[in-house]
């Protein structure tokens, strides 16, 4: 089970805004993409959710921008599930520039589990719940930042 999902990339030109740093909208896009990639890696691609007639939707996002990300910066984006309730789950994210080991941003999204037939929140199934480990201690995340950069 992948407790903490890691994705590495370089900041592309299309992510840069008029201020010559990553546009805020890109962080949201990357958060969504990495959440889907993590879910897929755990056996829950979008097609499976649709087949089960369930899905996740975002209720809230929060992003704390700490440092700007610039063109071609090597970024490591970590995501993990920090809690799972009856009908929602809190997912956290950490954006980290590998070249100088600086945290660029910390973020979280409150995802709500819905029934695709009604569009309403529903209890998270046991099968989905058991697929996602809960990482409640940020110390585990911090230890990943100390690993050598490959």
pLDDT band at 146 (very low <50, low <70, confident <90, very high): low
CB-based contacts of 44: which residues, under 8 Å, 6+ apart? 128, 131
Range of the domain at 43: 4-145
Number of domains in the chain: 1
**What mean pLDDT comes out for the span 25-45?**
98
Residue 44 lies in a domain: yes
**What mean pLDDT comes out for the span 23-39?**
97
Residue 12 lies in a domain: yes
pTM of the full structure: 0.93
pLDDT band at 149 (very low <50, low <70, confident <90, very high): low
pLDDT band at 138 (very low <50, low <70, confident <90, very high): confident
């Amino acid at each position: 089970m992948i407790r903490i999902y890691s994705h590495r990339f370089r900041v592309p030109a299309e992510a840069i805004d008029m201020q010559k740093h990553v546009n805020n909208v890109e962080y949201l896009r990357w958060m969504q993409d990495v959440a889907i990639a993590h879910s897929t890696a755990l056996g829950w691609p979008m097609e499976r959710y649709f087949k089960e007639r369930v899905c996740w939707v975002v209720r809230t996002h929060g992003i704390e921008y700490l440092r700007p990300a610039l063109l071609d910066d090597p970024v490591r984006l970590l995501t993990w599930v920090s809690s799972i309730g009856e009908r929602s789950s809190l997912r956290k994210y950490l954006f980290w520039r590998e070249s100088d080991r600086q945290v660029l941003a910390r973020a979280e999204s409150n995802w709500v589990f819905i029934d695709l037939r009604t569009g309403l929140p529903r209890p998270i199934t046991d099968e989905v719940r058991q697929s996602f480990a809960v990482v409640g201690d940020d110390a585990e995340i911090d230890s990943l930042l100390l690993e050598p950069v490959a």
